[in-house]
Structure 1
């Protein structure tokens, strides 16, 4: 189906089923789906069933009318149980998400732009495996710009073998630029994240958010490679401050993490923060099998604001993130760590967390 240049008014979702199709526009500057201007929070986009596996969507824009968060609807591509789908050269603004995939496999999202959303830019969950997310740009998302969540509430098994590459994320206003919550053998590489407004540039976490999920698999590990984190971190959820990279062991096992060739520049509060979740005063899973190689952290300065006491650390093993919590627990190994121009290079006053520096 070819859609020539023009504005296409739409007020509901298209349901794709029966066989694979191609929806091709004249390019996102020219072929534009537009939600009604007389309404707000209209659910538009594409739902797809597995009978449409192998479909392609390319060369158009979706301009939504969302003005508040409303979890559930609002995903331009809302796929469940699909495979071999292609999304290419799409422009999305004022929606909840560009893509939400549950149990979606061997699919590709590339060359697309995400602007001013109220939730994640792209999120894959519930057994999504073998997907590639490449050469997409996200700006001003209202949750993690690019995320993997190893939830199992909808079935599908392990989130694994996905590649997120060649991606910039900027000005995220409610969560991180990049986030992974559990999974096995997922790769994040060639990333640029800058100017996070309230949260970490990168979140690596085993928190389940109250949803059934698996933690991190031991092998193959979750890998982060060739990354720049610039002017990132903020304060959110009360008085907690967030770093350039947040490493958070929580309700599920935390293991098999590798970060290689990472530059963290001018973080708002701290460069890397290690944190562990506690319930009823009892520590949950510790940080284990976490190795960081060729890491550079510079410019972690005192913030001078109400959270000054929680700022200025290149690396921070957080001793008390929030009331009722406890100190970071476990071990992290650094190979070839460079720390420059930080108020405090390493803060670790705990007896529960060990930083090994080679």
Structure 2
């Protein structure tokens, strides 16, 4: 079968490097009429192209390319957890190659010297994954074999408890996709036809191609004069030997003021222990003192890459769920930029096995992390330590900045701000296939003074979030001064694009939580044995009130269930302001839903709702929720 599908239009903008950047929107997507204006009378609502990160690559969907293969599509409810490739695909579609000679061919719109392929190949019969190749051609000429692997995909079980999933094959599987990346030997101009083809010597029984990224990767950055290379401490690139001691020694030298900063040159550098600071008091079972006053710079995330071969549960040294055996433990005043950190985790939980964390610690003040690629970790970044663990080592992150992050294929969160984190931001970063919340603020109770140390004034701005295979695109659990702005969120497998909630026993919401300028496409889903259906934006006062919510200038389209959902819970959601919002095509739900146990109120201003399967604005029987203004508000019959 040969077909060409152009079911979504492209939105374009320019990246920092001048490359064309592409995001995906449904063809039916539209902005609401009216809305806020600037002083000159023009619209203040972000244009579609301004939502999400400014990315250095262009993303191309397999179903929109030329192909010979089988189109895979999600079912109408995008059912998850039962080996459903369509539900876990970007755009809810992908292409399967079963026979030799079948292919997917993409025509590039940008120059590129690298490729990332989001794909699925079979697991080994007994679990543990396989390696296989897929052939890459450019304008009909063979370029190279791409190395694909299923070692980090294929989790099994019919439970939604992540700790109970296993690597042992059985009928129900999830986390079906992983990614392969390659830096090509030369650059190819815009207009090149890149073909992924299954040749006779490509040995997997099937290949599923979901999407590719094409990027023009800049040459390696030169070593800054003030930095000292890890090679001066004994590290050797690309030799497969463990370089941990050399990296640790260089970091310690910087921390002690003996060198100006740490330089990680181009190359593959093996790391089998977390980089931290020695604890002479040996407090606790694990060393929990991070690095401080350190600057670590690399030649670029495609060039300076740390990797581990040891699964965290099999490693010595620091090795527990929120730390692991790779990456960096950070306490204060640390800058890290332009490197990659590749873990070796394969599961979250399950017999004590964990995926480790790329960056963790209290982070402190004056810490900035930029252009860091983290993959195959349990969590990309976990910010904070529990005060009641080792009180002397507690301290909240304050003014922490992340930018240009690229977090892929985790088993739990992408970046989680917890333990009193404040005045911190994740900006202009991309997240794909996280196994829990891609971005989270968790105002947890494990702080020095729960009356004072409440997470506050944290922001997630201009990020692109795709394909969380468990939980939310963005989640806010308590705190105040929260801001989620100008993010593009697409294809959550089972949970909302954005959720505000008081489960996980957080400290209270107060002040303002602002959701503005966001676009959510194909989000929401069913989870917990398919017994709970979540909206694209869900507000869940599980245990206490959620106050101060403002939803502005937001585009919600093609939701699996409701567009905005007020969920049953033990708390109220009073005085929600919803303005400048468009909701189109709530496939199996309502534009706005207040469930039967929901309590609170919302006021709608300049809200447009179209093509909802179960009504525009729906209040279920038994609900005390009040919705003022807006289109078609109705209460279901008792």
Aligned to 1:87: 369
Q: Deviations over 1:47-70 (max 9, x none)?
A: 123xxx221011110111111014
CA-based RMSD = 1.8
Secondary structure, aligned partner of 1:48: strand
Aligned to 1:60: 339
Higher Cα radius of gyration: 2
Equivalent position to 2:540, from 228, 234, 248: 248
* Contact 1:21–1:55 (8 Å) recurs in 2: yes
Equivalent position to 2:576, from 290, 293, 308: 290
Count of matched residue positions in the alignment of Structure 1 and Structure 2:
328
Q: Deviations over 1:10-66 (max 9, x none)?
A: 1110005574111111111011111115777762111123xxx22101111011111
Secondary structure, aligned partner of 1:250: coil
Aligned to 1:21: 294
**Which structure's residues are more often strand, by fraction?**
1
Q: Distance in 2 between matches of 1:8 and 1:189?
A: 36
* Contact 1:293–1:337 (8 Å) recurs in 2: yes
Aligned to 2:455: 159
TM-fit CA distance, 1:178: 0.6
TM-fit CA distance, 1:276: 2.6
Q: Distance in 2 between matches of 1:91 and 1:118?
A: 15
Equivalent position to 1:133, from 426, 438, 457: 426
* Contact 2:575–2:600 (8 Å) recurs in 1: no
The alpha-carbon distance between structure 1 residues 64 and 349, as it changes in their structure 2 partners (threshold 3 A), is same
Gaps of 5+ in 2: 1-261, 278-289, 316-323, 385-395, 631-638
What aligned pairs does 1:26-175 form with structure 2 within 5 A after superposition?
26-36=299-309, 43=324, 44-49=326-331, 53-70=332-349, 74-80=356-362, 82-102=364-384, 103-155=396-448, 157-175=453-471
TM superposition score normalised by structure 1: 0.87
TM superposition score normalised by structure 2: 0.50
TM-fit CA distance, 1:294: 0.9
The alpha-carbon distance between structure 1 residues 230 and 41, as it changes in their structure 2 partners (threshold 3 A), is farther
Q: Distance in 1 between matches of 2:426 and 2:459?
A: 6
* Contact 1:214–1:252 (8 Å) recurs in 2: no
Secondary structure, aligned partner of 1:47: strand
Aligned to 2:591: 314
The alpha-carbon distance between structure 1 residues 19 and 263, as it changes in their structure 2 partners (threshold 3 A), is closer
Q: Distance in 1 between matches of 2:339 and 2:534?
A: 36
Secondary structure, aligned partner of 2:463: strand
Secondary structure, aligned partner of 1:180: strand
Equivalent position to 1:332, from 589, 602, 612: 602
Q: After TM superposition, what 4+ stretches of structure 1 lie above 3 angstroms from structure 2?
A: 16-19, 37-42, 70-73
Secondary structure, aligned partner of 1:21: strand
* Contact 2:355–2:376 (8 Å) recurs in 1: no
Q: Distance in 1 between matches of 2:368 and 2:589?
A: 44
Q: Distance in 2 between matches of 1:85 and 1:293?
A: 36
TM-fit CA distance, 1:329: 1.2
Secondary structure, aligned partner of 2:574: coil
Q: Distance in 2 between matches of 1:287 and 1:138?
A: 29
Q: Deviations over 1:123-182 (max 9, x none)?
A: 001211111210110000000000101112133611101121110111001001011011
Secondary structure, aligned partner of 1:232: coil
Q: Deviations over 1:172-199 (max 9, x none)?
A: 0100101101111121111100011111
* Contact 2:346–2:355 (8 Å) recurs in 1: no
Aligned to 1:308: none
The alpha-carbon distance between structure 1 residues 5 and 233, as it changes in their structure 2 partners (threshold 3 A), is same
Aligned to 1:349: 620
1:12 aligns with 2:273: yes
* Contact 1:41–1:66 (8 Å) recurs in 2: no
Secondary structure, aligned partner of 1:246: strand
Q: Distance in 1 between matches of 2:314 and 2:627?
A: 47
Gaps of 5+ in 1: 278-283, 302-310, 320-326
TM-fit CA distance, 1:252: 2.5
TM-fit CA distance, 1:335: 1.2
Q: Distance in 2 between matches of 1:75 and 1:176?
A: 19
The alpha-carbon distance between structure 1 residues 127 and 228, as it changes in their structure 2 partners (threshold 3 A), is same
TM-fit CA distance, 1:105: 0.9
Q: Distance in 2 between matches of 1:136 and 1:175?
A: 19
TM-fit CA distance, 1:223: 0.7
